[in-house]
Amino acid sequence: MNIAFIGLGNMGAPMAANLARAGHAVTGFDTHARPDGLTMADSAAAAVADADVVITMLPNGAILRSVAADIHAAMRTGAVHLDCSTVDVEAARAVAEAAHAAGLTAIDAPVSGGIGGATNGTLTFMAGGPVAAFETCRPLFEVMGQKVVHCGDAGNGQAAKICNNMILGVTMIATCEAFNLADRLGLDRQAMFDVVSTSSGSSWSMNAYCPAPGVGPTSPADNGYKPGFAADLMLKDLTLAQQAAKAADADTPLGEAARALYDQFVNREDGAGRDFSAMLPRFSERSRRG
């Protein structure tokens, strides 16, 4: 296919590179980055002019809305706007409506898997939008990732992403709290892992991404908590989840508690730029009184 890729940062650049290596004609545009190995356009509108599918990977919903307003008029009728950003559900649905009005179709397909998944082509995509457009994009998903789930109508990809990451944020906090309690009770961390990872307390946060260094599979905890998934990004996703919960009148007290704690960790403590599992040393340094 002819692909345009708008947004070539830490995630977008390796995703675009994988598409190019698979034989797709990829034209990129980014206001700052100019990665090697890609044909670059001088503007977003120029990049999308001949594209069958336009992929965007952008920081937030406001930027997505702005870029969509710029590129939809330049895209050819019938092309697909595939947005892989993580944004608010309202922005995803507004962009889908704008695409439809311009004679296009849109898919919102945020990703899970981080920079490693983008580089290795092992991302998981959660997609919302028309089935026909989803099937058009399926060969691209298969290059960039290892799993894709069609979640329903426009915006449902974003809904799935924020619900998943709300669970992840809550369970990581609980896992870190439990390790800290185990430490203070004199329970060896390896024994803690061996019990919990095979018992009713098991979770992805424990089994696959253990926040305790030297315990379980290799994780960012074994690399000084350099981010695989930054605490800043977890805060972003938990904030989006609470924004959606407010709009839907959904009671999510644990989701809000997790958001507030990551906000404190990132903005008032030392969590900025660290992995989201660095909650464990954060708890280890504190008592019940703070």
Q: From CA 48, how far away is CA 45, in angstroms rounded? A: 5
| Burial of 268: CB neighbours in 10 Å, binned 0-12, 13-18, 19+ | exposed
Task: Tell how many helices (H) and how many strands (E) occur in the chain.
Answer: 12, 9
Question: Which one-letter amino acid corresponds to residue 286?
Answer: R
* 25-29/39-40 β-pairing: parallel
Q: From CA 89, how far away is CA 258, in angstroms rounded? A: 20
CA distances from 143 to 22, 139, 183 (A): 7, 7, 43
Q: From CA 103, how far away is CA 223, in angstroms rounded? A: 48
Active site residue 147: no
Q: From CA 153, how far away is CA 97, in angstroms rounded? A: 12
Is-contact 129 99, C-beta < 8 A? no
Find the catalytic residue in 161, 226, 236, 246: 161
Q: Which residues are catalytic?
A: 161
